[in-house]
Chain A
Amino acid sequence: MLMVAKGKELVKNIKRYRVLLAMLLPTIVYVIVFAYIPMGGIVLAFKNYNYNLGILESPWCGLDNFRFLFVTNKIWKLTVNTLAYNIVFILVGLVFEVGFAIMLSEIRNQVFKKFSQAFMFLPYFISWVVVATIMLNIFGSNGVLHHILTYFGMGDYSIYRNTKLWPLVLVLVRAWKQTGYGTVVYLAVITGISQELYEAASMDGATVWQKIRHITLPSMKPTIFIMVLLALGNVFRGDFGMFYQLVGSNQLLLDSSDIIDTYIYRMLTTSPNTGMTAAAGLYQSILCFVCIMIANRVVKKVDPDYTLF
């Protein structure tokens, strides 16, 4: 009886919200096709994959595919490197993105505002391959910087020999490239904050700083939490394009800037193996999964309103 009633209610609800559900449909299809169905491919990590036999018929091989990750003890260092870089990227990115969003929102001259926003956005569209070439031509031993320094008699300089600087270089280059894009989200949030709040604050004699501290930042808090949580979901996946292009095969730099993705790339381009690739992907996914679960749990403890799920 109850079941029938529930079923009727469901049909009624579907009818009532049919337009909204239809709007949701593409997203559901997308997620199922591109996220849930491919998840079945995880079995490949435990199989000795053979094209002839296909995914299901290929023989099981236990954890053999994972062994290649652990034969050298490198994977731990790589995991730590990947995690550390990503956390720094997230924090620095957050400060820059929120900071520049607030600055942009405070600019009153519309022309200057649009102009500076466009310029900040531009690096996002430059591919890492091009960024690497630009860097080499500015900071390399035949680069512009070197020539300027030599002209002023300040000796020769190449960033590629200064290995200790590289973690900083990577963080700064990434901030330069990503800030413009990241700012857009926060700028949208600021635009959405009710002007009445600011007007009221002005009436009470609040300074610009006070308005930012007590109105803008608190209003941005939920978005900041969500963006950080989303970023944490990928914290064990390195930015392959960036590390591969900027560092390349320079072993001196690799010491401090090798990440899981570049290592696996070096390992499997010479001997591609579907099973091992799937195993590496699964290793990263599990770590990311654990990480986001913990982060979400922590956020829930602090303030349940800000969690992802």
Chain B
Amino acid sequence: MKKNQWKRIAALALAAVTTVSMVGCGKKTQASKTAKNYQVKSGPYYDKGFDLKDHETITMYVLGDRPKDMDEVLKKANDEYFGPNLNVDLDVEFLNWSDYQTKYPLLLSGGEKVDLIYTASWCFMNEEISAGAFKELDKDFLKTYMPYTYDTLPSQAWDQISVGGKVYAAPKGKVSFTNYSMLAAREDLIEKYNLTKPTSWDNFKSYLTDLAKVQSETGVTPLNTNANREQLLTMYEQSQQVQNVTEGHDFIYHANNSEDAPAVDGIEYLYMSDVFENYAKEMAELANKGAWSSDAINDTTDPQSYFENGTSGAFVWNGTIFAAGKNMEDAGNGKYEAYDVTSDVKRATGSYATDATAITTKCQDPERAALTLDYMKSDVDLNRLLLGGIEGKHWKLEKDGTRSTLDDAEKYSWNSWAWALNRQDEPDESTLDPRQIAAEKHNCEMEFVPEQTGFTFDPSSVQDKYSAVSAVIDEYRQSFALGIYGDATVDKVKEFREQLKSAGIEDVTKVFKSQYEAYMSAK
């Protein structure tokens, strides 16, 4: 009898588990539960001929981790802004950093409701456009449904975001020097062991090798790095005065601080150039001298956290180095100083296409989605609510126009996901490190705006070769960056280039150059 009873309980439990897992498949969003119909009687979009009668839920997907206070912020945004002014509820869904690469394409090809989605030149923009996932935003559509965005963004932004002369996404409102590499070094160790200050590329190398010599004493790896982030390539290119022809593709030329467009013959594919071979040799030399662990190639720990926890002597990246340095100091692991090893070299801002928002082709009401997106960018208060959370709870606006963080800031940190929505007038942090302010000022003074700005490359006509080339690069890149081949580096570069050739790099280069020529002659 007892046995039977257990069997029944087990069967019931199993049935319950199955039902629950089935329920998990269908998803109710937070916003749709609280949906109510608003009568739009005022606001920026009232009485402009837009049909706002029916209530809609607009679902937007962005990258990052969902902030703890997201629901509270969304509720405020919906109750005070989207509802009364657009008769819309906004629902924001997050694609986690660890798996966005697989989820992103599936989201667009699958049946999920997606109206607005974050995209970027580095986040599937070209691929999804050619797959027909994004709605084309022509001039009339933009002027009508995204009036603010259309008027305020500079023409340069629309140039950079367009693919084949057409616009498929609305870019962000403010660019910064995200592609320029600087470094944070351990000033306490420099003082204690009298190390070379990393003021130039060569001095930086000396700093790393000096630090390697005292590693047994300090326990600090000179550049504790991993297999996921190539820290030194950009900095090396800067030291060689090399610039990319266009962001996101590895075609380079020797700019030597001149903003003139390069001649077609002067354009090289990075991995086929002398610049790369010399870089590979220098990396092998650094690896040989113990600048990083020989197992870095199999390590996946984030190098920023290595610097923050005091086990790395340097951290190379964009403005993020200041945050890393501050975190390291706050944790009491040492003292940092920021260095710009190529301070006399001009630098380009990141493209506007680095962060953008697209309307999907499966969006049922693209007009309302466009209005929603436009509203997020046009209304200062709403924009700041989405970027930084509730004023007075998560952040505070100071008298001088800067913003300071409040106790709850960690539950909704400033601009952790809304990069594509930011505005030119986004307030700076009040407690900005003076070193960072100085660096940003210098960046602006040295801004590089080459003549070919606006040119984008469309590899779709050689897609198979382009994919094969990227597979070859993925196979070798990190191994060269971490100098694992030692004395065999030059031979390995040869082998790598043979592989690139057989993958079809020459054809890809040809197409790139012909598109470039066509663009320049049209200009």
**In the complex, chain B residues whose CB is within 8 Å of the CB of A276:** 464, 467
Write the nearest CB–CB distance from A150 to chain B, whole angstroms. 11
Bound-state CA distance A71–B508 (Å) is 13
Whether the pair B478, A249 counts as a contact (CB closer than 8 A) is yes
Bound-state CA distance A249–B504 (Å) is 22
**In the complex, chain A residues whose CB is within 8 Å of the CB of B478:** 249-251
Contact segment of B302-310, B389-397, B469-477: B469-477
**In the complex, chain A residues whose CB is within 8 Å of the CB of B272:** none
Whether the pair A72, B503 counts as a contact (CB closer than 8 A) is yes
Whether the pair A266, B474 counts as a contact (CB closer than 8 A) is yes
Assess A272 versus B105: contact at CB under 8 Å? Given A267-B470, A267-B471. Answer: yes
Find B504's partner among A50, A71, A263 (CB 8 Å cutoff). Answer: A71
**In the complex, chain B residues whose CB is within 8 Å of the CB of A273:** 127, 131, 463, 467
Find B131's partner among A49, A141, A158 (CB 8 Å cutoff). Answer: A49
Say yes or no: is A248 at the interface (Cβ < 8 Å to chain B).
Answer: yes
Find B227's partner among A68, A248, A269 (CB 8 Å cutoff). Answer: A248
Say yes or no: is B376 at the interface (Cβ < 8 Å to chain A).
Answer: no
Find A142's partner among B131, B295, B477, B502 (CB 8 Å cutoff). Answer: B295
Whether the pair A160, B294 counts as a contact (CB closer than 8 A) is yes
Whether the pair B502, A71 counts as a contact (CB closer than 8 A) is yes
Binary B-proximity of A242-280 (CB < 8 A = 1, otherwise 0): 000000111110100010000100111111111010000
Assess A132 versus B298: contact at CB under 8 Å? Given A67-B464, A71-B464, A271-B467. Answer: yes
Find B479's partner among A49, A72, A136, A249 (CB 8 Å cutoff). Answer: A249
Binary A-proximity of B433-449 (CB < 8 A = 1, otherwise 0): 00000000000000000
Assess A266 versus B127: contact at CB under 8 Å? Given A51-B362, A250-B479. Answer: no
**In the complex, chain A residues whose CB is within 8 Å of the CB of B278:** none
Bound-state CA distance A119–B459 (Å) is 52
Bound-state CA distance A121–B78 (Å) is 51
Write the nearest CB–CB distance from A276 to chain B, whole angstroms. 7
Find B105's partner among A72, A258, A266, A274 (CB 8 Å cutoff). Answer: A274
Chain B: number of interface residues, binned into ranges:
35 or more
Assess A68 versus B131: contact at CB under 8 Å? Given A249-B474, A266-B475. Answer: no
Say yes or no: is B468 at the interface (Cβ < 8 Å to chain A).
Answer: yes
Write the nearest CB–CB distance from B46 to chain A, whole angstroms. 33
Bound-state CA distance A268–B104 (Å) is 13
Whether the pair B468, A71 counts as a contact (CB closer than 8 A) is yes
Question: Chain A CB within 10 Å — which of B105, B108, B361 has the most?
Answer: B105
Number of interface residues of A (CB under 8 A): 37
Q: Which chain A residues (5-57) contact chain B, with CB distance < 8 Å?
A: 49-53
Say yes or no: is B465 at the interface (Cβ < 8 Å to chain A).
Answer: yes
**A50 nearest in chain B by CB position:** B132
Question: Chain B CB within 10 Å — which of A158, A250, A254 has the most?
Answer: A250
Say yes or no: is A140 at the interface (Cβ < 8 Å to chain B).
Answer: yes
Binary A-proximity of B480-523 (CB < 8 A = 1, otherwise 0): 00001100000000000001001110000000000000000000
Say yes or no: is A199 at the interface (Cβ < 8 Å to chain B).
Answer: no
Say yes or no: is B133 at the interface (Cβ < 8 Å to chain A).
Answer: yes
Whether the pair B101, A269 counts as a contact (CB closer than 8 A) is yes
Write the nearest CB–CB distance from A82 to chain B, whole angstroms. 16
Whether the pair B475, A51 counts as a contact (CB closer than 8 A) is no
Write the nearest CB–CB distance from A139 to chain B, whole angstroms. 9
Say yes or no: is B299 at the interface (Cβ < 8 Å to chain A).
Answer: yes
Find A250's partner among B133, B297, B459, B499 (CB 8 Å cutoff). Answer: B297
Say yes or no: is A73 at the interface (Cβ < 8 Å to chain B).
Answer: yes
Write the nearest CB–CB distance from A162 to chain B, whole angstroms. 12
Write the nearest CB–CB distance from B375 to chain A, whole angstroms. 26
Binary B-proximity of A111-143 (CB < 8 A = 1, otherwise 0): 000000000000000000000100010001110
Bound-state CA distance A230–B120 (Å) is 44
Assess A158 versus B295: contact at CB under 8 Å? Given A51-B109, A71-B504, A73-B502. Answer: yes
Say yes or no: is B124 at the interface (Cβ < 8 Å to chain A).
Answer: yes
Say yes or no: is B234 at the interface (Cβ < 8 Å to chain A).
Answer: no
Binary A-proximity of B370-383 (CB < 8 A = 1, otherwise 0): 00000000000000
Write the nearest CB–CB distance from B241 to chain A, whole angstroms. 27
Say yes or no: is A106 at the interface (Cβ < 8 Å to chain B).
Answer: no
**In the complex, chain A residues whose CB is within 8 Å of the CB of B133:** 51-52
Say yes or no: is B300 at the interface (Cβ < 8 Å to chain A).
Answer: yes
**B478 nearest in chain A by CB position:** A249
Bound-state CA distance A249–B484 (Å) is 11
Bound-state CA distance A266–B473 (Å) is 9
Bound-state CA distance A94–B471 (Å) is 34
Q: Which chain B residues (316-357) contact chain A, with CB distance < 8 Å?
A: none
Say yes or no: is A161 at the interface (Cβ < 8 Å to chain B).
Answer: yes
Say yes or no: is B293 at the interface (Cβ < 8 Å to chain A).
Answer: yes
Known: A72-B468, A158-B295. 8 other contacts (CB 8 A): A71-B503, A72-B499, A141-B293, A142-B293, A248-B298, A270-B470, A270-B474, A271-B470
- Which 8 interchain pairs have the tightest Cβ spacing? A251-B479, A267-B471, A52-B132, A68-B464, A50-B132, A249-B478, A266-B474, A140-B295
